[in-house]
Amino acid sequence: MTNPLIDIGANLGHDSFAHDLPDVLQRARDAGLVHQLVTGTTLPASAHALEICTHYPNLSCTAGIHPHEAAHADAEVLAGIRALLGQPQVKAVGETGLDFNRDFSPRPAQEKVFHEHLAMATATGKPVFLHQRDAHERFLPILKDHRDALSGGVVHCFTDTREALFDYLDLDMYIGITGWICDERRGKHLHELMTSIPADRLLLETDAPYLLPRSLRPKPKTRRNEPAWLTEVLATVARCCQRPAADIAADTTANAVRLFNLEIGLAG
């Protein structure tokens, strides 16, 4: 019997899903997924995420500007994100944060847009969907400055250090774990951190179509990840936590419902 799961981060608006999205969603349901959040990364992508949610059941979405796109987030773009946040299917502000790994947008622009998103989250009462890569020293103080006014948030696709993990837990943030943990080359350090994440702060996500779990057997013919393979993330997390997968699934589903104020039917 499948465990009811929620994928809190899937880029279902990506072009790779354009030809077979109904099949992708059916495979996710067959794997036990009862809800998915579609990630918004630009104004057009956020609008498209909302459109997908209106066409298919058991979906919600986020609306925001990824730090890679911060240089293009002028007043008109930010006003568009604010408008989308008024829609009930939009459950979180983001993807937002800082990415100093590639610096696709200037760092001052990233920080400005990050502040703007945190202010939107405060105004709407919706949680934040956060991205941080190689930017912890700037990301943390900005988040701290806004934390008391925020309803909550998740550090999406956590891949950082033990110190960063405890910094986020000290701020009562949720921690999103992806298929990165299934990568024997890059994700092994996460294995020993899993027992440090409280059961009521853990969330699971695929970040599909990215981060295909390398531990999948048999290996898919395509490198595209999809929500159905959240089960592989669950299995790896359960092994690392030395807890039954059913318990991890129950905890993470309850956490997602609580953080994002979701209404789901566990009968499928």
pLDDT at 42 over 70: yes
CATH level 3 topology of 5-260:
TIM Barrel (3.20.20)
In the chain, % of residues over pLDDT 90: 92
pLDDT tens digits for 170-210?
999 999 999 999 998 889 999 999 999 999 999 999 999 99
pLDDT of residue 220: 87
pTM tops 0.85, yes or no? yes
Query: Residue 12: which residues within 8 A CB-CB, separation 6 or more?
Result: 21, 24, 36, 38, 49, 52, 59, 208, 227
Q: What is the pLDDT of residues 113-137, one digit of tens each?
A: 999 999 999 999 999 999 999 999 9
pLDDT over 50 (residue 250): yes
In this prediction, residue 267 has a pLDDT band, given cuts at 50, 70 and 90, of very low
pLDDT at 95: 98
Binning pLDDT at 50, 70 and 90, where does residue 265 land? Answer: low
Mean pLDDT of 79-97: 98
Q: Edge-to-edge strands of the sheet including 128-133?
A: 5-10, 33-38, 59-63, 90-99, 128-133, 153-155, 174-177, 202-204
The pLDDT of residue 132 is 98
Closest CA to 246 of 235, 233, 261: 235
